[in-house]
Structure 1
Amino acid sequence: MTQQSQGFNTPQHNDSDDVRLMAMLIYLLGFVSGFIGPIIIWLVKKDDSKLIDQSGKSYLNMFISYMIWCAVPVVIMMFSLIFYMPFDPTSGLISIFIFLLLNLVILGLLITFSVFNIIGCVKYYQGTYYQAPLSIRFFK
């Protein structure tokens, strides 16, 4: 089933400018306040419009998913630094290489999160639904 047939990317022309602005603001506040600002707006305004409700769920799904995706390399880095580095100088070099590589992975995930956050701002201001790639749907 395509995203078009699921109702994604279809404009909600009956939504007012205020509703679209609130839906966009959920994503925009994510840059400044992480998840606190978006969750407050979503909890207060979710009953006002389906677009705001979907925007809040979509943002929280994206935020939680990307935090999980970033936690995996951090756990691998910690495991590598704690268990391999102290015992052998050559494995210490391997640990440093793994550490640098996983830092690049985390940087890539953060850039990807920021790009999809901007796309979400634009899509919800246009009045269309948006589900970011790599997002696990915790809230449906």
Structure 2
Amino acid sequence: MEPVQETTVITGPSQEDRTYAMLLHLSQFTGYLIPFAGLLVPLVMWLMKKDTNPYIDAHGKVVFNWILSALIWGVIGVILSFVVIGIFLLIALAICHIIFAIVGAIRANDGIVRNYPLTIKFFKV
């Protein structure tokens, strides 16, 4: 008789965690309605759950890596706008911000943690 092997089932994040992470990514859009809300709302959401949920912590790091990177790219764009090319950089940054947040939200809902492109990694994910 062969010994019975135990199998370990590793489950991904719960649907509630995936929905919260998705909303964390989408909360960046609140900055379009209320100044600085696109920074504060994701920050509060991340800080509330980062110590208790590693999945939310990872997504919070992804979001804040992007927010800080976008601020840096935006400052560079403003400086370069005096040479006209910065205007195109700012337009591209706005388009990237929208696309990256939506794609990040979809991936979060699918249980995937991945950094946005063009992101400087301030926090290790």
Tell me whether the two structures share a fold, i.e. TM-score over 0.5.
yes
Aligned residues between the structures: 109
Runs of 4+ in 1 over 2 A off after TM superposition: none
Residue identity in the other structure for 2:67:
F
Give the structure-2-normalised TM-score.
0.80
- Structure 2 distance, partners of 1:29, 1:44, is 14
Aligned equivalent of 1:115, options 99, 109, 115: 99
Identity %: 32
- Structure 2 distance, partners of 1:121, 1:115, is 10
Shift of 1:13: 3.8
Q: Are residues 130 and 121 of structure 1, via their aligned partners in 2, closer, same or farther at CA, if it must alter by over 3 Å?
A: same
Larger radius of gyration: 1
Aligned equivalent of 1:59, options 43, 56, 63: 63
- Structure 2 distance, partners of 1:65, 1:13, is 32
Q: Unpaired runs of 5+ in structure 1?
A: 1-11, 81-97
- Structure 2 distance, partners of 1:24, 1:48, is 17
Residue identity in the other structure for 2:60:
G
Mapping for residues 13-24 of structure 1, pairs under 5 Å? 13-24=11-22
- Structure 1 distance, partners of 2:52, 2:20, is 10
Residue identity in the other structure for 1:43:
L
- 2:59·2:113 contact (CA, 8 Å) conserved in 1? yes
Mapping for residues 1-140 of structure 1, pairs under 5 Å? 13-32=11-30, 33-77=37-81, 80=82, 98-99=83-84, 101-140=85-124
